[in-house]
Amino acid sequence: MDDLVRQIERLGTINLTAIEEFKAQSERMNFLNEQNADLLEALETLEQAIAKIDEESRQRFKQTLIK
């Protein structure tokens, strides 16, 4: 029993708010991961729109030259 008490004492002080801090940081990480996913989706959508506009611009330019 004394050995167990000494082992606990060697651990030092305990951060009693660690569980709450971990929960808050986990929620923050989840929020940021969702934001990252949203941004990646928006980026992909924008890249597709740019590619579509580029292709349409090329086609219109070619049509203008043919006339």
26 within a domain of the structure (yes/no): yes
State if pTM tops 0.75: no
Q: What residue numbers bound the domain in which 30 lies?
A: 15-66
What mean pLDDT do residues 30-48 have? 99
Residue at 36 is within a domain: yes
Mean pLDDT of 20-48: 98
Domain assignment present for residue 32? The answer is: yes
Q: Is residue 7 part of a domain?
A: no
pLDDT tens digits for 1-28?
A: 888 888 888 888 888 899 999 999 999 9
Distance CA 65, CA 2 (A): 93
Say if 6 falls within a structural domain.
Answer: no
DSSP 14: -
The tally of domains found in the chain comes to 1
Question: pLDDT tier at 66 (50, 70, 90 boundaries)?
Answer: confident
**Beta-carbon contacts of residue 15 (< 8 Å; ≥ 6 apart):** 21
Give the residue ranges of DSSP H helices in 1-67: 2-11, 18-66
| Residue 10 placed within a domain | no
